[in-house]
Amino acid sequence: MDYCYIKIEKELKKRNFKGNRCMNNRGLKYDTGDKDILKWIKRKLIAYKLGFNITPQVIDIHPVANICNLKCAWCIGKSDSNTPVYMKWHDLEKVFNSIFEVGKEEFWPSEIHFCGCNSDPLLNKEVMKNAIQYLNERNVTIEIISNGVCLKDYISNNIEQLLLVDKISISLDVVNEQDFYSYKSLNSKICLKDIINSIEKICQNKYKTNSQLSIYTTFVATPETYSKEEWLQNFTELKNIGVNHVQVRNDYTNYDKNFYNKVKLDIEEIAIKLNAKEINYKESNSFDIKYNEYMPRNSEFEHCLGYRIWPTISADFLMYPCAHTANEYFVSLLDLKKTNYYDIYSLDDFSYYEKEPCKNCSKKCPSLIYYINQLKDIDVL
Ligand code: SF4
Ligand code: SF4
């Protein structure tokens, strides 16, 4: 395995990379302006194209599977199993110890994301509590992608710990209580207002400390739930309580081109009205709004690079090439309970994964991996 990052550094300089560190997985937390994960992944790809073996920049972790506290109409998670699976901290700690092996710091992933495809990561309190502590001690960027229902609990028990996280992305999806009940809630005890109150409390506490936490909220616009005026009002409230980023996406299971063209224009207009700017990680009150079109795609790319740049570890510790294939319908890369994480990245022959990365996957990649998979040339650093 050749990890000659000096050579990559030279190549980066040839391509006008303005940074001054050698190419490795670390440094995001120390670099004042460069939390842009896409830039880091592009640098990795240059290294890969130069023939170097690269290790993932981000790893998604699903601390729970097969159980959720909501039933969203737009949920992409599916499983034949109704048996909940909860990771045990004891097991995850062993896996973390192999990923964050002392002496291999430059190959550690720089970000760990806690999320789920048919569950919410915050349902596993034991893992979240210990994992945040563990990763924070190692200066690893932490992101939690959640539906927000459990935030209330975390706030009353240990808000300090939440404030150690770098990004919390909350999928609100809708803007009023009626739609929340119709499209998301399991019962009348779970309401949108409680989630917004939790977000507000986190923001208030964040401003009292020097927490680097950024709060993201995401929405799904559908002809039934979208209204420009109501969404503008809602986004204004979110901005006022201290949310940093609002992202609207389409419902790809029911795609109406004319409707989404209009939504896109509306969101651009709302962004101007609310003076939204590109998110700036150095400013805790930075605010932006984006429309992000997500489409199922049958792409032309031959090789999937998901396992190289952004794999997913499921609740049963199997590792998959991406978050969209992390379940029993797909072929896992390895069982982390049996195989050491770095063993797979030091294999000389990776041809199986490169030729057949994801049996049955239909190439419906997560957005950023899709972008990377179909990239013909890397032009921006
Ligand atoms: S919160 Fe997430 S996992 Fe749970 S039902 Fe909604 S989309 Fe699916
Ligand atoms: S869906 Fe895309 S990223 Fe995921 S395994 Fe298949 S090709 Fe790779």
Rounded Cα–Cα distance for residues 264 and 256 (Å): 12
pLDDT confidence of residue 180: 97
CA angle 119, 332, 3 (to 5 degrees): 110
Q: Is 116 a pocket residue for ligand 1 (Cβ < 6 Å)?
A: yes
39-68 exposure pattern, b = at least 16 Cβ within 10 A, e = fewer: ebbbbbbbbbeeebbbbbbbbbbbbbbbbb
**What is the CATH code of the structural domain delimited by 164-295?**
3.30.750
Ligand 2 centroid–CA 130 distance in Å is 30
CA angle 283, 372, 31 (to 5 degrees): 30
- The tens digit of pLDDT for each residue in 131-181 reads 999 999 998 999 999 999 999 999 999 899 999 999 999 999 999 999 999
Closest CA to 127 of 62, 58, 63: 63
pLDDT at 92 over 80: yes
The percentage of the chain sitting over the pLDDT mark of 90, rounded to a whole number, equals 50
CB 124 within 8 A of CB 116: no
Structure tokens at 133: 């502590």
pLDDT at 20 over 70: no
State the closest ligand 2 atom to the C-alpha of 299, by its place in the atom list counted from 1.
Answer: 7
Q: Quick one: which ligand is closest to 325's CA?
A: 2
Ligand 2 centroid–CA 197 distance in Å is 36
The tokens 């700036």 sit on which residue?
280
pLDDT at 130 over 80: yes
- What are the residue ranges spanned by the domains of the chain? 5-49, 164-295
Q: Where are the alpha helices (DSSP H) in the chain?
A: 5-14, 37-49, 89-99, 125-137, 151-162, 177-183, 192-208, 228-241, 257-273, 306-309, 341-345, 351-355, 367-373
pLDDT at 319 over 90: yes
CB 363 within 8 A of CB 324: no
Helix (H, G, I), strand (E, B) or coil at 125: helix
Q: Is 337 a pocket residue for ligand 1 (Cβ < 6 Å)?
A: no
Mean residue pLDDT of the chain comes to: 84
CA angle 378, 367, 202 (to 5 degrees): 115
pLDDT confidence of residue 25: 47
pLDDT confidence of residue 173: 97
Alpha carbon nearest to ligand 2 atom 7, residue: 363
pLDDT confidence of residue 10: 62
CB proximity list for 342: less than 8 A, separation 6 or greater: 55, 98, 101, 104, 107
In this structure, how many other beta carbons lie within 10 angstroms of the beta carbon of residue 348?
A: 7
Q: Quick one: which ligand is closest to 327's CA?
A: 2
Rounded Cα–Cα distance for residues 23 and 368 (Å): 20
Confidence of residue 251 (pLDDT cuts 50, 70, 90): confident
Alpha carbon nearest to ligand 1 atom 6, residue: 72
More confident residue, 304 or 106: 304
Q: How far is CA 25 from CA 6, 36, 110, 111, 118, in A?
A: 14, 13, 6, 9, 29
Q: Is 206 a pocket residue for ligand 2 (Cβ < 6 Å)?
A: no
